[in-house]
Structures are given as C-alpha cells and as structure tokens.
Amino acid sequence: GAVVSQHPSRVICKSGTSVKIECRSLDFQATTMFWYRQFPKQSLMLMATSNEGSKATYEQGVEKDKFLINHASLTLSTLTVTSAHPEDSSFYICSAASEVSYNEQFFGPGTRLTVL
Amino acid sequence: SQQGEEDPQALSIQEGENATMNCSYKTSINNLQWYRQNSGRGLVHLILIRSNEREKHSGRLRVTLDTSKKSSSLLITASRAADTASYFCATDAGTSYDKVIFGPGTSLSVIP
C-alpha cells in the first residue's frame, strides 16, 4: 500500500510552546489528509479534514485556532499545536487519501506529543 | 459521537483459538473497514468491506457485514501471540464519502 510518513515521531515540549507535526504522502498525491488524536487506551478521534489548497474542516469541539492545519501541497499537511498544554499530550495520527485510493486511507505511524 | 461501537472491549484467548470481535454502527454506510494497532504504534489496514458485500476473507481474517443489523464481525482464526493488538472498526460517515469514524476498539490478548 501507499506510504505515509510523519515527523517527528516523538516530541517533548514545555507548556506554552508550539509544536509542528508534518504528514507526508511519499508515493502518491493525497487530495485529502485527515488528522486524528488518540488518548491512551482510547480510540482515534477525528480532529479535522484537510484538502489541498483550501481551509481545513474541523470536527465539533476542536479549536481551529489552537490546532492549525496547513495543506500546502498534494504531499504535505502540517498540524501545529499552538500554546501547547499538558492536556494536549496525546498520540497524533495523520492519514491520507487520494481519488485513486477511493475511500481507503493510508495512515502515518503517529507522533507522540508530551507537553511538560 | 462515534459511529462504530465494538464489543467486547477486551478479549483474552489462548494461542490457536479463534477470536471474534463485533462492531455495530448507527447510520447507513458506504463501507466498513477494520484496522489493527499494536501498542503505541500506527494503524494497519486489514480489510475494507463495501455495503453491498456480505463477507470477505483475507488469510486468517474473515469479515462479515450485516447492513440490516448495522453490524460487522471480524474473525481471526488460529490466533497467534503476534495477533495481540487493538482492533478497530471504522465506517464512513454516510454523508461524506471521505470521512472515516472509528469505533472504541477491542483489545485482544493472545496468550502463548
């Protein structure tokens, strides 16, 4: 299947700082990318849907000013957690889909964020 | 709210036994997918079953879909210790073809 990478895989930051997470589709053009958050022993919760060249669509309860999403190209989407706090500590996973892949999403390996 | 609900939440079996996990959802769907996640790792896509399909096989995996009951099951036959993981069903949101919503998952432990 298609390959999606995330960088960094782990990040530890101080409270109040901003953290940027990158999601790249390595061998296909992703028209749509999704960002999920997963707390320990819980399921993945969709945060937002990102389409190349347009504004992201955020799920109810997700603050768009806190979780900035940029999908500047067909192979890269970034999630910036602004002014991170300990409650933002979580596992962030992106996925990518293309018109060719129909409805199958290809998931990145995830980024473990720890806010001290 | 989440679209899919899995049961059981946790399942512990002996190696060699079969494991069955169930998933129920609330609204009409276009397709349903099953994923596996090892602890602290990313997701692995297992099977996608479309709404007009009733059963699908992939190696030791068998997935069924009953759209009248809005439910699906994942059967892993002859389980192995390496099958220990969390298993999630995921459905499209019904109105949006691209968005996928995950159920709470089943934590499977296969004891050697």
Please give the full DSSP string across A11-33, using - where no structure is assigned: EEE-TT--EEEEEEESSS--SEE
pLDDT (0 to 100) of residue A54: 83
For residue B5, pLDDT over 80 is answered with no
Residues 6 or more apart whose Cβ sits within 8 Å of residue B1: none
Taking the C-alpha atoms of residue A73 and residue A66, their distance in angstroms, rounded to an integer, is 22
pLDDT (0 to 100) of residue A1: 64
Confidence of residue A98 (pLDDT cuts 50, 70, 90): confident
Bridge partners, A107 (sequence order) = A95
Whether B101 sits inside 8 A of A46 (CB atoms) is: yes
Whether A107 sits inside 8 A of B42 (CB atoms) is: yes
Cα radius of gyration rounded to whole Å, chain B:
13
Query: Who among A41, A103, A109 is closest to B31 (CB)?
Result: A103
pLDDT (0 to 100) of residue A52: 81
For residue B18, pLDDT over 90 is answered with yes
pLDDT (0 to 100) of residue A51: 85
Length of chain A: 116
pLDDT (0 to 100) of residue B7: 78
pLDDT (0 to 100) of residue B1: 40
For chain A, the average pLDDT equals 91
Which whole number is the average pLDDT over B90-106? 78
- Contact by Cβ (8 Å): B22, B72: yes
pLDDT (0 to 100) of residue B73: 97
Confidence of residue A97 (pLDDT cuts 50, 70, 90): confident
In 3D space, the residue among B75, B74, B67 whose CA is nearest the CA of residue B94 turns out to be B67
Which whole number is the average pLDDT over A20-36? 91
B101: closest CA of chain A, how far (Å) = 7
> By CB neighbour count within 10 A (0-12 exposed, 13-18 middle, 19+ buried), where does A106 fall?
buried
Instruction: Return the minimum-mean-pLDDT range out of A17-21, A68-72, B19-23.
Output: A68-72
pLDDT (0 to 100) of residue A79: 97
pLDDT (0 to 100) of residue B20: 96
For chain B, the average pLDDT equals 89
Whether A44 sits inside 8 A of B41 (CB atoms) is: no
Which whole number is the average pLDDT over A18-44? 92
Contact list, B48 vs chain A (CB under 8 Å): 103-104
Distances in whole angstroms, Cα of residue B110 to Cα of each of B12, B13, B82, B84, B107:
6, 5, 8, 5, 10
Match 């079953």 to its residue by tokens.
B49
Taking the Cβ of residue A54 and every Cβ of chain B, the question of whether any pair is shorter than 8 Å is answered with no
Confidence of residue B97 (pLDDT cuts 50, 70, 90): low
Confidence of residue B53 (pLDDT cuts 50, 70, 90): very high
Confidence of residue A87 (pLDDT cuts 50, 70, 90): very high
pLDDT (0 to 100) of residue B47: 94
For residue A90, pLDDT over 90 is answered with yes
For residue A102, pLDDT over 80 is answered with no
